[in-house]
């Protein structure tokens, strides 16, 4: 094995080395200069993205490390998206951490190790690699939720997240062990070959546990209970983090495990996912309506979007998976923006968490309000914003596979969803500001990034072809 043969795995190798470097840097320099670690981390991410473009941009499927690691065009796209998502999330969180005196280097180390977990998941080609990625990501994220040591709410959220997450990991491991027992291999390619025959009850049993674990990780109903609590309890910048890049990883988890490894059982798992997806759509949208806390509302909105992503999987075709991929990427882009606005609207001692805190935001900060309005319309799926195309692709995939009832449920629920997104716009634009609301954060760089984020939602909405094309191209 020479360097050339493992070039495709450079992003992970680099990231592991970078984590050690950032850890050391924090230990020796970080204490004296609080912001330096953050800057270094952003630099690490930029270099990482560049290295990924140079080494991991494969044109065909490359399997490494005795079949446990795979690099393909899909992995390349997902990794770049994760780099971008994590970089933007860290950029938005900096002033938030600073303002609350929790700007510690550990935050960045944890974020980087979560990113490594995401990468491992994206490139996983064996059950063990999958599990490694899931746990690396999950453990980093639990710690991030509890990052604000002083906050009891955050500790409670982290605890809930950890306990329920551990159960899900157990489920995943149990399901994997059954599949391993039946097929005698950990390799996903091997499992795919072994399961090509009609399936027995054992496979379905193992599959059930895996579907439960995947649903849990996505936050699909009825395994969603941890999500609103974790979103609400975590510091907002951590909510921003866990709401974005990990979703890319869980998309990869579902794709590698279900459609590739367990592809022979597609009929079975689509049958299992269908009620889950419908429940997710209905519960997510209906419960979001009654929320008064914006983080909780966005958490339920996330759940409803997960329902749409699952619908893409239910279609069970390449078109459906690429629709789910497109939806995931678009969702991440929009969520970065919306939580970015929540982060910017907050101040030390004033967390803009209640919906009322957004009253008259237009008067206080027109740019922030405009960005939020665009993001809300996009999330609701109204053209000319990108969220529209995500919904369109899912509906198209469902029609191609003749699922009329799912189409009807999906479009009806998107109308219900429009209501609570419109309410945010109503608060910002139609209501008068309350006297006590403080100034929003004014740091230029972050506002510029947020402006770009909102502009991207519009530009990708008017000219959707490149991203749609990319998502169709990387999934066969």
Kindly list the residues in this chain that would bind other proteins in the complex (CB under 8 A).
377, 382-384, 388, 392, 395-396, 399-400, 407-408, 411-412, 414-415, 418-419, 422-423, 425-426, 429-430, 464-465, 468-469, 472
φ, ψ at 187 (rounded to 5°): -75, 130
- Copy the structure tokens of residue 191: 């499992």
Q: Which of 231, 109, 236 is nearest to 160 (CA)?
A: 231
Residue 172 · residue 210 · CB < 8 Å: yes
Least Å distance, CB 416 to other proteins, is 9
Looking at the Cβ atoms of 162 and 362, the one nearer to other proteins is 362
Q: CB-based contacts of 185: which residues, under 8 Å, 6+ apart?
A: 191, 194
Least Å distance, CB 393 to other proteins, is 9
Looking at the Cβ atoms of 174 and 429, the one nearer to other proteins is 429
Least Å distance, CB 103 to other proteins, is 36
Residue 145 · residue 233 · CB < 8 Å: yes
Looking at the Cβ atoms of 182 and 474, the one nearer to other proteins is 474
- Copy the structure tokens of residue 284: 């997510």
Least Å distance, CB 383 to other proteins, is 5
What whole-number distance in Å separates Cα of residue 460 and Cα of residue 372? 16
Least Å distance, CB 405 to other proteins, is 11
Least Å distance, CB 418 to other proteins, is 5
φ, ψ at 71 (rounded to 5°): -125, 125
Q: How many CA atoms lie within 13 A of 454 on its CB side?
A: 20
Looking at the Cβ atoms of 350 and 419, the one nearer to other proteins is 419
Least Å distance, CB 473 to other proteins, is 9
Looking at the Cβ atoms of 224 and 393, the one nearer to other proteins is 393
Q: What is the DSSP string of 14-50?
A: HHHHHHHHHHHHIIIIITTSTTHHHHHHHHHHHHHHH
Looking at the Cβ atoms of 400 and 439, the one nearer to other proteins is 400
Cα separation values, 464 from 73, 378, 385, Å: 20, 13, 9
Looking at the Cβ atoms of 17 and 415, the one nearer to other proteins is 415
3-class DSSP state of 139: helix
């Amino acid at each position: 094995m020479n360097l050339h043969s493992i070039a495709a795995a450079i992003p992970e190798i680099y990231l592991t080395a970078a984590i050690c470097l950032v850890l050391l840097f924090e230990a020796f320099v970080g204490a004296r200069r609080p912001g330096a670690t953050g800057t270094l981390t952003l630099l690490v991410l930029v270099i990482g993205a560049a290295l990924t473009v140079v080494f991991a941009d494969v044109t065909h499927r490359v399997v490494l490390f005795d079949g446990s690691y795979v690099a393909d065009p899909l992995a390349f796209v997902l990794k770049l998206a994760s780099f971008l998502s994590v970089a933007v999330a860290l950029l938005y969180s900096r002033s938030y951490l600073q303002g609350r005196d929790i700007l510690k280097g550990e935050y960045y180390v944890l974020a980087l190790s979560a990113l490594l977990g995401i990468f491992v998941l994206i490139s996983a080609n064996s059950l063990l690699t999958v599990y490694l990625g899931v746990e690396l990501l999950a453990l980093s994220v639990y710690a991030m939720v509890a990052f604000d040591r002083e906050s009891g709410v955050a500790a409670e959220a982290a605890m809930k997240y950890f306990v329920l997450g551990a159960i899900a990991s157990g489920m995943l491991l149990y399901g994997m062990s059954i599949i391993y027992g039946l097929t005698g291999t950990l390799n996903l390619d091997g499992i795919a070959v072994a399961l090509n025959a009609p399936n027995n009850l054992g496979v379905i049993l193992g599959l059930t546990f895996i579907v439960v674990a995947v649903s849990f990780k996505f936050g699909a109903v009825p395994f969603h209970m941890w999500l609103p609590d974790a979103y609400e309890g975590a510091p907002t910048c951590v909510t921003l983090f866990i709401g974005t890049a990990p979703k890319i990883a869980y998309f990869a988890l579902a794709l590698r495990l279900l459609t590739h490894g367990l592809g022979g059982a597609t009929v079975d798992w689509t049958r299992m996912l269908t009620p889950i997806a419908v429940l997710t759509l209905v519960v997510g949208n209906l419960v979001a309506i009654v929320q008064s806390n914006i983080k909780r509302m966005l958490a339920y909105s996330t759940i409803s979007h997960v329902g749409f992503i699952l619908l893409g999987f239910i279609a069970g075709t390449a078109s459906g998976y690429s629709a789910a991929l497109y939806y995931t990427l678009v969702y991440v882009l929009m969520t970065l923006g919306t939580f970015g606005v929540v982060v910017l609207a907050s101040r030390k001692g004033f967390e803009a968490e209640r919906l009322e805190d957004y009253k008259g935001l237009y008067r206080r900060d027109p740019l922030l309000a405009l960005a939020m309005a665009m993001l809300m319309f996009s999330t609701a799926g109204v053209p000319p914003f990108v969220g529209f195309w995500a919904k369109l692709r899912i509906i198209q995939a469902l029609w191609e596979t003749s699922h009329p009832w799912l189409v009807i449920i999906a479009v009806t629920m998107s109308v219900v969803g429009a209501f609570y997104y419109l309410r945010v716009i109503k608060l910002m634009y139609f209501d008068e500001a309350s006297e006590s609301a403080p100034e929003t954060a004014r740091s230029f760089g972050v506002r510029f990034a947020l402006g770009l984020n909102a502009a991207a939602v519009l530009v990708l909405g008017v000219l959707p072809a490149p991203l749609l094309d990319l998502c169709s191209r990387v999934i066969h």
